[in-house]
Amino acid sequence: MESNINHLLKTAIKEHQKGKLDEAEMLYREVLNTEPRQSDANHNLGLILTSKDKIEEALILLKVATEVNPNTEQYWISYINALIKQNRLEEAGTICKKILTQQPESIRLHFNLGVVLQNLDKLPEAEASYRKVIELKPDFIEAHNNLGTILQKNGQFEDAEVSYGKIIELKPDHVNANYNLGLVLQNLDKLPEAEASYRKVIELKPDHIEAHNNLGTILQNNGQFEDAEEIFRKIIELKPDVIEVHENLRILLKFKTLSLKIREAKKNYKNNNIGELDSPLKLASNFFISNREVETELVKSLYEIKSKELSQTKGVFFGSGRHSVNFDLFEQVSKDNYSIIKKVEKDLTTIMKQAVNSDIFIMDSFFNILNNGGGSNYHTHLSKFDKINKLVKQKYSLTYYLTVGDQNCSEPGILKMKNPDDEILPHKGMIMIFPASRSHSAVYNGKVDRVMIGVNFYSLI
């Protein structure tokens, strides 16, 4: 009988190693029909069932294996992995810690504990676990990778750079490490090195959309418009449904046009001493205020235009309200025949020219509708492109308040600005223009919607 069990088990293991899981499962079950607590059969069948997402049954089998041979590290690893897959993280963490008291040098258990803690968002503890793994096994690539992810998430970009660099030293063709290194280098403004990382990713994986996209952004910000445009169009050809890339191409083409117009304006101003407008008005160091009567039709039209919840935006907005889908309101409405908004664009353009005493180029146009509890965190409207191309002093932001809602509430939508500190309570029809470099925020909790149009623009001289 025993020899027959051993033969069945060996045959099952061979089938398992060949990837013939159904055949192996059948043979392991035959073994367990005769010897229900055979540890290898319980463990290996548990692995197969885990791979088939039959976690409940797998856990029963894996538990038996750990009971029969509690000193076999792999049994515990497999059991913990199944718990993690079922998202029973607290239980998995408790078991990791318990077994580590008995096997304190277990590399895999320290790693699994790190995975559990990372998934529980206990990042300092997870970092400690991964560092212990690396101490015990310096070439453990997954530990370096997960540690790098934590450091990157914490904004510790220099340390993350070291982690990803170590992976690439161990495995130069590691796609994710090269890509993540590119992200880290980009955050550190080491753009030539980031570019090299993304090019390496593309060499290893030519259809890596994110690497192509980030490379295109770097080239765009460096003023290499033709190369960047080629990359964005290539991505769209590979995967036409990536909305972000279409938006990046739109932005690229606008930056390309902006750069051309600035060159032409400066050339004309230098050669012909023209470019200044007749208006004596100039933008004050803090802000410029004007006014425009608000048409009822204008407010109504914004509610008809496609928008998205503030919660769908990244970082700047929060709470209840809506925001235009993209930053091309004036361009989009020309396609939808909203003549009232085209009139607004014309009027605001005149005011913007007067404010900065120059011809202008509109980069972004959008609208916000704030409901009770909606608002924006402190932010500026500067981009990497502005900083790299020294356009910070030529970029401005405009807000046009169409309705101001309920101003008797505790948060009436005051525009709060830094450097210098200012607080402005807007009124209906108010237009404010200020340098795009000024950090600002607003919070509103009235019961009536507050509606505004925003514009980011450049003076050409």
Cα 145 from Cα 180, distance rounded (Å) = 9
Mean pLDDT across 80-93 = 92
Position 337 pLDDT exceeds 90: no
Residue 452 tokens read as 């505004």
Residue 52 tokens read as 């088939």
Query: Hey, how many other C-beta atoms are within 10 angstroms of the C-beta on 31?
Result: 23
Q: Residue 412 forms beta bridges with which residues?
A: 444
Structural domains of the chain sorted by starting position, each given as residue range(s) with its CATH number in brackets: 2-244 (1.25.40.10), 288-459 (2.60.120.620)
Amino acid letter for position 69: N
Residue 346 tokens read as 């014309």
Please state, rounded to an integer, the average pLDDT across all residues of the chain.
91
* The pTM of the whole model exceeds 0.85: no
Mean pLDDT across 427-442 = 96
Position 276 pLDDT exceeds 50: no
Determine what percent of the chain is predicted with pLDDT higher than 70. 95
Report pLDDT for 277: 41
- Omega before 426 cis (within 30°)? no
Mean pLDDT across 269-278 = 52
What strand order describes the sheet that includes 395-403? 288-291, 430-435, 395-403, 450-459, 360-370, 321-324, 307-309
Over the stretch 195-207, which tens digit does the pLDDT of each residue have?
999 999 999 999 9
Query: Hey, how many other C-beta atoms are within 10 angstroms of the C-beta on 7?
Result: 12
CA 155 to each of CA 131, 151, 181, 404: distance values in angstroms, whole numbers, following the listed order: 18, 6, 13, 37
Considering only residues 315 and 35, tell me which one the structure prediction assigns the higher pLDDT.
35
Residue 393 tokens read as 């002093």
Cα 407 from Cα 190, distance rounded (Å) = 46
- Computed from CA positions of residues 336, 338, 342, 345, in that sequence, does the dihedral angle turn out positive or negative? negative
Residue 37 tokens read as 């607590």
pLDDT class for 279, splitting at 50, 70, 90? very low
DSSP string, 340-394: HHHHHHHHHHHHHHHHHTS-EEEEEEEEEEE-TTEEEEEE----HHHHHTT-GGG
Residue 66 tokens read as 């750990």
